[in-house]
Chains A and B, each alone.
Chain A
Amino acid sequence: MIEVEHLTKYFGSTLAVDDISFRVEKGEILGFLGPNGAGKTTTMRILTCFLAASKGTARVAGYDVFEDSLEVRKRIGYLPENPPVYSDMTVQFYLDFNARIKGIDPKDRKRRVEEVMERCAIRDVKDTIIGKLSRGYKQRVGLAQALIHDPEVLILDEPTIGLDPRQIIEVRKLIKGLAGEHTIILSTHILPEVSMTCQRVVIINKGRIAAVDTPENLTTKLRGSERLFIEVEGPADEVSRKIREMPEVIGVTVETGRNGGRNAFLVDSKVEVDIRAQLASKIVGSGFGLLEMRPVGMSLEEIFLQLTTEERTE
């Protein structure tokens, strides 16, 4: 449904998107994950024909976003990063305006507006001026706008930002419910959101794709190490130097400097080797006091950080 090939975007001399390629199948929900400035919004803006790529191609439903921009735009519902609302319109008028510019048949307009208001839970504010709505309500109005013409493809840039916890759950449910008949790309910084809603994740950093996989695979496959948390009485650099001497250890991270010469560390070691006994004797044998030791599971957050942070302790 969506095919992106070697997409590259320069803003002047800054490279915002660097040669990315991926595909999204019909009915799939793809999560776009990356830190600030990764290029998520830029990629989405290219897909929605707002920006032109510097190099590469993107096709939506078989239409090139550059050559057949109008055909692509007919099929896309887009929620930009900031909800594109007119603050002097009422919610109902705004949605009606959207229905008109998105080519909905005049006789269906009223019904469609009612439907999306119901779906996005904004009926109770339908006569309110949008400028007076809270951020979360504006976000929901923005989402309603993207859904109004029942598009084949939905592109949602951080759809749950600014919503309260209950609404976040509602919106995620809504998005999941849309999958199947709609193809969805959503971007987010929130990792649990990805594992909850998306079938596949593209992790993007500094304009490049760092990984593409299902959330489950990412958690297991990328778990290239076992991790231990230890708290030791002793100077941080010396302790970590000693620990690093062990061949099974991949990396050591100083977690926090604690009072009274205590330090906490995260020790990553090779998979399927239990180094706890050895590590304990190493620390004690080097003359430090071992205060605590426990294994920690690696969360999606950490995988994300590993993939997107450069200064890794390796």
Chain B
Amino acid sequence: MRNMLAIFQKEMRSYFISPIAYVLAAVFLVISGYFFYGIVVSFSNQSLYYVQYSSRYGMQMPPLNLNEQVIRGIFGLMSFISLFMIPMLTMRLYAEEKRSGTIELLMTSPLTTVQTLLGKFLACFVLYVLIIALTVIFMVILEIYGSPEWGPIISSYIGTLLMGAAFISVGIFASSLTENQIVAVVISFGALLMFWVIGSAVIFTGPGAGRVFSYLSIIEHIVDFHKGVIDTKDAVFYLSFTGFFLFLTYRTVESRSWR
């Protein structure tokens, strides 16, 4: 536990003294802020139109749903940005240790591969949580000017974090395969993109294989979270996905001693 904490703090510190965490957080906030603004403006235009329309024709319109349009849009966007952001957060974790030779220090010190791995994973995950937490501002703004339902917001956050954990595990795995950070980014981005689009394979495969593919799709499982439904099946998917890739990473790091 103490060892894991030491690794965790080392990684955290390294994130915060390099500009990468700040740059990524800023980019994330700017892009999602811009889209938040855009979505909100278009939503309010639409509402205005609705109001005029119903007063002019005296018709009862179906109520507009803030959750469906604004919140789902924002969270969808967050997942999409994470796809680009997380490989950049994870690229360093093992690749840099290998390149600089500090992996030799870690592996000859009395700490286990699991402690190192979990320390690194948690550091990255906590940083991700912090970046995602910045978007709470948007929800507060919505709360001030509108009346969003907090249920789906909270479940969407939970889904986003679970998905983030899965992304991070793929990123760490990619980082453990190489000593080149750029290669690590390319591998993890490629792999994540594949898990992102794999659900669409149903177009050309039969419905049987299509079900498998859509089960493996990393975004398929977040849909329910966005609707406010926390389904254990989806949570289990993300957790086992994360566990699987962390296990692969563990094997890769350990196997260095078998070569």
Contacts and interface: CB of A to CB of B under 8 A. Distances in A.
Contacts of B103: 84
B100 to A, nearest CB: 7
Nearest to A73: B110
B102 A86 contact: yes
Interface string A57-79: 00000000000001001101010
Interface size class of B (residues with CB under 8 A): 20 to 34
Given A48-B108, A73-B108, A73-B110, A100 B101 contact: no
Interface in B203-259: 256-259
Nearest to A12: B259
Interface size class of A (residues with CB under 8 A): 20 to 34
If over half of B's interface residues share one DSSP class (helix, strand or loop), that class is named, otherwise mixed; here it is helix
A87 B102 CA distance: 10
Given A49-B257, A88-B17, A101 B110 contact: yes
B104 A101 contact: no
A109 to B, nearest CB: 11
B107 interface: yes
Nearest to B112: A70
A48 B112 CA distance: 14
Contacts, number: 68
A305 interface: no
A75 to B, nearest CB: 9
Contacts of A261: none
A102 interface: yes
Contacts of A45: 104
A50 B101 contact: no
A50 B2 contact: no
Interface stretch (B6-14, B171-179, B183-191): B6-14
A262 to B, nearest CB: 50
A88 B18 contact: yes
A80 B6 CA distance: 21
Given A84-B101, A88-B14, A97-B6, A78 B108 contact: yes
A145 interface: yes
Interface in B90-138: 100-112
A243 B116 CA distance: 66
Given A49-B257, A51-B257, A101 B6 contact: yes
A308 to B, nearest CB: 26
B52 interface: no
Nearest to A70: B110
B3 interface: yes
A87 B100 contact: yes
Interface of B: 2-3, 6-7, 10, 13-14, 17-18, 100-112, 256-259
Given A78-B108, A97-B10, A103-B3, 4 more contacts: A82-B101, A84-B101, A86-B100, A86-B102
Interface of A: 11, 45, 48-52, 70, 73-74, 76, 78, 80, 82, 84-89, 93, 97-98, 100-103, 145
The 5 closest A-B pairs by CB, nearest first: A84-B105, A100-B6, A48-B108, A74-B110, A73-B110
